[in-house]
Structure 1
Amino acid sequence: MQISSNSVVQFHYTITENGTELESSRQGDAMLYLHGHNQMLPKLEEALQDKNAGDTLEVTLAPVDAYGERKADAIQSVQVKHLQGAKKWKPGMVAWVNTDHGERQVTIVKMGMFKADVDTNHPLAGKTVTFHIEILSVREATEEELAHGHAHGAGGHQH
């Protein structure tokens, strides 16, 4: 089956910049998404269109098509109690913060006793990245997945 709108696609990925690995799903679970429902980078989804299980591909994206350009004014001060992901924080670490727009990754710039200065740019902002994709499976979405607007993994949904 070819990837098309309303397909559930499972794949492994590795993201590199100039040949250096930045992130990979290979040490854990493969990614799963509902194609055509704006659940991933648009140019990456476009490259996956019409591919099949077993296909591999490389897609290089400029910052504007990947995680955006870095914004110099993206430093904010947040209370340490709102940082999620570790118990002790140091500059350079990535944390999660709940915002009005959902969870967001931030990078610690400076730590204080009660507040931290964080960079709200995505950790990969400003980078030209290459996605190395291996498509594991492609199937039609179930009616339930379409109604929920996302793919369900093994064992169904957890909501």
Structure 2
Amino acid sequence: MNIGKDTVVTITYIVKDMDGKLLEESDEPVSYLHGGYDNIFPLVEQALEGKAIGDTVELKLQPADAFGEFEEDLVRLEPRESFPADIEVGMQFVGSPVDGSEEMLYTVTDVAEDKVVVDGNHPYAGQAVHFQCVVADVRAATADEVAHRHAHGAHGHHHH
């Protein structure tokens, strides 16, 4: 079976930076519902269209097509006392941006005596990346999956 609209695709993937350094790797296969449901980077979805089990896709993605451009205004200075005593660079936490939009993941990038710098950008924002994936499985999506706009089951999305 080939990948097309409303198929559930299972892939394993590797993301490297342009120097070939490994950024991210799937620990186990991940599944997504194919067909414009925004479950995966759109350019990756385009490249996977029509592929079958065992096929490999390799793409170079610009920041806008991958983890996003780096946005200066997502970097914030916060008072030190708002954080736990053991705060350190690299820790991550969820917070609401000032404009009250949906919660985001912030990464601590600097800790000073009375200030903490947090960054709401994705750790790989602003980077062009090399995305490589292998198609592990393709199956027809269930009516339920199409209705919910994402894959269910072993490697898909779980409802709680």
For the aligned pair, the TM-score class normalised by the smaller chain equals 0.7 to 0.9
CA distance in 2, matches of 1:32, 1:105: 23
TM (normalized to structure 1)?
Answer: 0.81
Report the secondary structure of 1:73's partner residue: helix
CA distance in 1, matches of 2:116, 2:61: 31
Identity %: 38
Larger radius of gyration: 2
- 1:23-47 superposed Cα distances (whole Å, 9 cap, x missing partner): 101xx22111111211111111111
- 1:72-124 superposed Cα distances (whole Å, 9 cap, x missing partner): 2321256437xxxxx95321x15241546555332212347997431111111
Whether the 8 Å CA contact 1:76–1:117 is kept in 2: the answer is: yes
CA distance in 2, matches of 1:118, 1:63: 21
CA distance in 2, matches of 1:74, 1:19: 27
CA distance in 2, matches of 1:14, 1:150: 22
- 1:36-81 superposed Cα distances (whole Å, 9 cap, x missing partner): 2111111111111111111112111011211222122321256437
Whether the 8 Å CA contact 2:95–2:105 is kept in 1: the answer is: no
Instruction: Give the counterpart letter for 1:47 in structure 2.
Output: A
In structure 1, the partner of 2:23 is 22
Whether the 8 Å CA contact 1:94–1:105 is kept in 2: the answer is: no
Structure 1: segments with no counterpart, 5+ residues: 82-86
CA distance in 1, matches of 2:56, 2:116: 41
Whether the 8 Å CA contact 2:95–2:106 is kept in 1: the answer is: no
CA distance in 2, matches of 1:147, 1:115: 46
Would you say how many aligned residue pairs link Structure 1 and Structure 2?
Answer: 151
In structure 1, the partner of 2:33 is 34
1:95 to 85, 92, 95: 92
In structure 2, the partner of 1:84 is none
In structure 1, the partner of 2:127 is 127
